[in-house]
Amino acid sequence: MFNVKNRVLKIVFLFTVVGILLLVVYTKIFKSLSVDLITVPHRYITSVFEAFNEITLYFKEKKSLIDENINLKKQIEILKLENRKIFYLEKENDALKKAVELKNHYTFNKVVLAKVVAFSPDNWVNGFFIDVGSKNGIKEGDLVIAGGYLIGIVKSVGFVSSEVMSVNDKNFKITVRTRKTGEVCFYNGLDYKKGVLKYVRPEQDVRFSDVVETTVLNSGNPEGIPVGIIRSISTKEGEFFREVQVETFYYPYNLNYVLVVVR
């Protein structure tokens, strides 16, 4: 009897356990609970993996970005260089255009375009060297023009190069006349962008802001080339001649192309 009761209890227990298991397996609540239980740690695990992937990707991309940046910088530098080259060509073109305009305006016999290649090694000499010489027909005493103004005179001529004494040199002397009144004076270089008119008598009509230009008195040189503009007229006490200062246009720091007027 006792055995039968025991067996029945065992079978009931078995069915109960199976029932509970079936309930656990097939009930939605437990399923979702179990899913949640399994996915929550995985979510953290995957987020760690993702972070790791992101970090590796960042390093990989950083390298490629750096490489790309270097390439782009290189391209920018090349473009800048090209831009600078174009800018330089544009400037050179403008300078040459001006020179051609001047040549057409004055109708000189012969003009030679020259490039300034060097400056005087002596600090006490205000002059420069140009890349044209006797081969191009240059002679001593030829006038040198830049930007429409006289800037010097050829002093020594080589076969392929020449030396020019600038209008600012203290030993630069030339006979000039004033454009408005036609008074003939004697120009002498003085200083940086400065010259003086020497031996100007009190009765001579020399006016402020008048242009000083070359005359025919200069041994066959063309006349009318402006040398400078009168900037001050003064009379010193006890001196007969007036002191007249002229602003010249020789500027060595941006000198590139010049015109040589061949006689």
Partner 1 sequence: MIYYGKFFLFAYLLMILQSTILFKGVLNLFIVPDFLLIYIFWLVIENKESIAKYVGLFSGIFLDLLNPDKTFINTISYFFSTLYIINLRNRFITFNFLLKIITVKVISLAVSIPKTIYLYYSSGILTQKDFQMIIFYVLSNGIIMYFVYYFDMFILKRNEV
In the complex, least distance from residue 76 CB atom to partner 1, rounded to whole angstroms: 24
Beta strands 211-214 and 226-235: pairing type? Answer: antiparallel
Is the Cβ of residue 127 or residue 226 nearer to partner 1 in the bound state?
A: 127
In the complex, least distance from residue 116 CB atom to partner 1, rounded to whole angstroms: 7
Is the Cβ of residue 129 or residue 249 nearer to partner 1 in the bound state?
A: 129
Whether residue 221 contacts residue 141, with contact meaning beta carbons closer than 8 Å, is answered with yes
E strand residue ranges, 44-148: 110-119, 127-130, 143-146
Which residues here bind partner 1, judged by CB under 8 A?
A: 116-125, 127, 129, 155-156, 163, 165, 169-171, 188, 190-192, 196, 252-253, 255
Is the Cβ of residue 215 or residue 245 nearer to partner 1 in the bound state?
A: 245
Is the Cβ of residue 108 or residue 142 nearer to partner 1 in the bound state?
A: 142
Q: Which of 155, 170, 164, 205 is nearest to 185 (CA)?
A: 205
Cα separations in angstroms, 117 against 131, 161, 170:
6, 9, 22
Neighbours of 195 (CB within 10 A): 27
Whether residue 187 contacts residue 176, with contact meaning beta carbons closer than 8 Å, is answered with yes
Whether residue 162 contacts residue 154, with contact meaning beta carbons closer than 8 Å, is answered with yes
Is the Cβ of residue 190 or residue 211 nearer to partner 1 in the bound state?
A: 190
Is the Cβ of residue 26 or residue 253 nearer to partner 1 in the bound state?
A: 253
In the complex, least distance from residue 230 CB atom to partner 1, rounded to whole angstroms: 18
In the complex, least distance from residue 48 CB atom to partner 1, rounded to whole angstroms: 58
Distance (Å, rounded) from C-alpha 167 to C-alpha 150?
Answer: 7
In the complex, least distance from residue 170 CB atom to partner 1, rounded to whole angstroms: 4
In the complex, least distance from residue 252 CB atom to partner 1, rounded to whole angstroms: 5
Contacts of 232 (CB under 8 A, 6+ apart): 208, 243, 244, 245
Whether residue 17 contacts residue 23, with contact meaning beta carbons closer than 8 Å, is answered with no
